[in-house]
Structure 1
Amino acid sequence: MGKKIGLAVFYAGIALVIYLYGETILEWFQESDNLVLITVMATVMAFFPVIPYPIVGGVIGAAYGPIVGGLITWIGSTAASILMFLVVRYGYQEWGMRVLARYERIGRLGAMFERNAFVAIAFVRLVPIVPSIIVNMYAALHRVSFATYAIASALGKIPAMLLFAVVGDNLMTEPRNILLAIGIYAIFLAVILRLHRIWQRKQQLKKQI
């Protein structure tokens, strides 16, 4: 119990620091050239989303371009989700269950998990219909292997993280391209939703046979 309380106080302290010095941290992202340290900080900012992560990703994209910026943003977000998964699974299961109980949409997520956990995790990452923290907790509290969770999360996060970086980069260079980037992402999501519905129908037909 003492360790859990100490860890919770530590987390709260980091969140407070980000809250107080968030603007300074974002400015540092734009000025620093230490990519390893920036990636670590991106992970911290994703784990403690005091500042919305799309803003963080946009700042990084503006500073380092869509490719490098997108890679840093993706690594940070993926690493943060994996850390949250491990923290909940091995230390805070009771707290995680209390958080999940507040969300009515969990029933829909549970039905998807019952069919295929890998597809469910990748899908909700691609189409953010459920908050990321809820996906992390739900997977940690149910029978989902670490490998399945990590791979599905990493793959599902790629389009959104790349979009954040592209939008941030275009804000600094070609603002007109932002609508094009968002349009491409919207088409991508529409295709994914269509494929998911087709997959659902096939699963229902299998059950009827």
Structure 2
Amino acid sequence: MLIQRIAAGVLYFVLFVLIFIYRGEIMPWLKDLDSSSWPIILLISVMLGMVPVIPFALVSSILGVKYGLWGGSGMSVIASSLAAIFAYWIFGQGGAGGGKQSSINRINTWNERIRNHTFFFVLIGRMLPFIPAVFINGYAGLFKIPFAPFLTATVIGKIPMMLVFAYVGVSVTSGSLYWVPLLLIYSGFLGVIYMIYKRLFSQTT
């Protein structure tokens, strides 16, 4: 178990260092890759989604240019979801486990609340662009947040955001400004999800 934890930590550290060192060359290379090389593009996108070096919005925009709105957003959702799964596993190797109580009551209460409402906490977090994905993945892995609702909320929460990012990439390439209505729809969708969560959360507390 200790070896597995060390290996996971080393793997993540090496990946972070490599992407940080070659961050200036990765994006132009990804952009120049032929769209038929989708397995390589998917693998690179997954690795970029695992570490907080290059904003995934840029990756998703490139995928939108390469594969169009639906193909690009679909690959973005798959890549970012796989990145979340791998990061969840890596951080989970160093986690304390769900049964370990925190010495700080406030943190313990917060963790318990998230565990009881995992789906909506993760969903809202995924849909807020200012919350780093690595923070959600790391927290979920370290504190052993239930995996099934974590993954479900991750996939659902990433769909509108990846759709927006891919559409922005397509719009910038074509010179169109029609991405504005899509951003408004995304904001409305976020507002509806928040109101549903607020109502359900108030009923269970």
Contact 2:12 2:90 in 1 (8 A): no
Aligned-residue offset at 1:74: 0.9
Q: In 2, distance between residues paired with 1:4 and 1:151? A: 26
Aligned-residue offset at 1:44: 0.5
Contact 2:52 2:134 in 1 (8 A): no
Aligned-residue offset at 1:182: 1.7
Structure 1: tracts of 5 or more residues without a match:
95-105, 205-209
RMSD: 2.7
Matched, 1:92 2:94: yes
Matched, 1:58 2:61: yes
Aligned-residue offset at 1:135: 1.8
What is the TM-score with the length of structure 2 in the denominator? 0.79
Matched, 1:133 2:151: no
Aligned-residue offset at 1:116: 1.9
1:108–1:125: structure 2 CA closer, same or farther, 3 Å change rule?
farther
Aligned to 1:74: 77
Q: In 2, distance between residues paired with 1:187 and 1:67? A: 20
Number of residue-to-residue matches in the alignment: 193
1:172–1:119: structure 2 CA closer, same or farther, 3 Å change rule?
same
Q: In 1, distance between residues paired with 2:27 and 2:109? A: 36
Aligned residues with identical type, % of pairs: 26
Aligned-residue offset at 1:109: 5.9
Contact 1:112 1:120 in 2 (8 A): no
Decide which of 78, 83, 87 is 2:86's aligned counterpart.
Answer: 83
- Runs of 4+ with >4 A deviation: 1-7, 106-109
Correspondences of 1:6-85 after superposition (within 5 Å)? 7-31=8-32, 32-33=34-35, 34-85=37-88
- In the TM superposition, what whole-angstrom CA distance separates every residue of 1:172-194 from its partner, at most 9, and x where no partner exists? 01431232222221122122222
Contact 1:109 1:120 in 2 (8 A): no
Q: In 1, distance between residues paired with 2:81 and 2:48? A: 12
Structure 2: tracts of 5 or more residues without a match:
97-106
What is the TM-score with the length of structure 1 in the denominator? 0.78
SS at match of 2:145: coil
